[in-house]
Structure 1
Amino acid sequence: MRFSIVPFLLLAIPLAEIATFVVVGSQIGVFPTLGLVVVTAIAGSILLRVQGFGVVRRIQETMNDGGVPGRDLVHGMMIMVAGVLLLTPGFVTDTLGFLLFVPAIRDAGWSFLRNRIVILGGAASPRSDRASGRRRDPDPQTIDLTADDYSDTGNDRSPWRKPDQD
């Protein structure tokens, strides 16, 4: 039987958050503890906005140059997770969220994931039109027909055909 860490985390993280709230609240008081939670949520939303726009800009530059922005996409995903962790009330999730905003931590995550993911060509692949993102045929052919080159025989018994109106 394979061990899944998700149920363990769903139980352990809230318990760790409650314990941290109790310890911090007993040291600095209830209202400063709540204020600290609000301040970290505001700081997280500001960091998410600033670093998120930077990642979007780098992704656009990489795609405009014809590259695949794998690293920047992973960084963007980690920044999004960091923002969610910082908006979640608690000191444990805030610590994890702030760590994910550090570029060196994100680079370590990218080096871990790099060999485990497969990147397929998308809009920047050599067989696509970079301006529109549509896929081009490798050997396009134009078929030019006149009205004499085809005929519509139709099916008189088709349920989709309108009945003749007499």
Structure 2
Amino acid sequence: MAQRRGRGKIGWILFLMLLVIPVIEVIVIIQVGRTIGGWQTFGLLVLWSLIGAWLVKSQWRTAWRALRTALQTGRMPARELTDAALILIGGTLLLAPGFLTDIIGLFLILPFTRPLARPLLQAAVARRLLDGTMVGATTVSTGPTGTPGAGPMTGPRRRPAQDDVIEGEIVDD
């Protein structure tokens, strides 16, 4: 039951963010437009989008190259996968028109600020995995002997129903 409340809380936070962030973006765009002019604001938003697209493409290539190198050398690509996720999230934020989402997107994409965001993403994923609240995640604990599956299962699982019997006929040819 506590897991459902946690998911509901996250859902409400996301819902409020999806309502509040666009309103804040519109307010900021209007204020910038009043300060520098409407067409200049539009041009600045287009320029940010072009710079962001170029930066995403450049950083994605770098991240993909690092991921391939890690896999070819047999090393676990945790940092590379985290960087790829941050670039993907940052690129998505850069697609949204607005100055605040562009600033956050650039923070996630730039190679010298990405290391600051990396531990935050890793901690969030680790916390979700340890809580068992990842969507579709199933965790099997080990029993006293250390064998997987010997202990109780946590996370979502299907319980067998009483009428899971399929009647049929075996035919030998």
Shared fold, TM over 0.5: yes
Higher helix share: 2
Task: Tell me the residue number matched to 2:29.
Answer: 21
Inter-CA distance 114–30: structure 2 relative to 1 (3 Å threshold): closer
- CA deviations on 1:70-101 (whole Å, 9 max, x unpaired) are 11111011111111111211111111111112
Number of aligned residue pairs: give it: 121
Structure 2: runs of 5 or more not aligned:
130-170
Deviation, structure 1 residue 104: 4.3
Match of 1:96 among 104, 108, 121: 104
Does 1 or 2 have the higher relative contact order (CA < 8 Å, sep 6+)?
A: 1
Inter-CA distance 21–58: structure 2 relative to 1 (3 Å threshold): same
Match of 2:60, as an amino acid? G
Match of 2:30, as an amino acid? V
- Does the alignment pair 1:62 with 2:73? no
* Distance in 1 separating the partners of 2:27 and 2:99: 10
* Distance in 2 separating the partners of 1:22 and 1:96: 19
Q: Deviation above 2 Å: which 4+ runs of structure 1?
A: 1-4, 102-106, 108-115
The percentage of aligned residue pairs carrying the same residue is: 31
* Distance in 1 separating the partners of 2:35 and 2:121: 40
Larger radius of gyration: 1
* Distance in 2 separating the partners of 1:114 and 1:93: 21
Inter-CA distance 100–16: structure 2 relative to 1 (3 Å threshold): same
Higher strand share: 2
* Distance in 2 separating the partners of 1:112 and 1:37: 28
Inter-CA distance 33–113: structure 2 relative to 1 (3 Å threshold): closer
Match of 1:64, as an amino acid? Q
TM-score (ref. length: structure 2) = 0.64
Structure 1: runs of 5 or more not aligned:
119-153, 157-166
Task: Tell me the residue number matched to 2:142.
Answer: none
* Distance in 2 separating the partners of 1:41 and 1:70: 29
1:8-157 matched pairs, under 5 angstroms: 8-114=16-122, 116=126, 155-156=172-173
Deviation, structure 1 residue 111: 2.3
Task: Tell me the residue number matched to 1:135.
Answer: none
Match of 1:56, as an amino acid? W
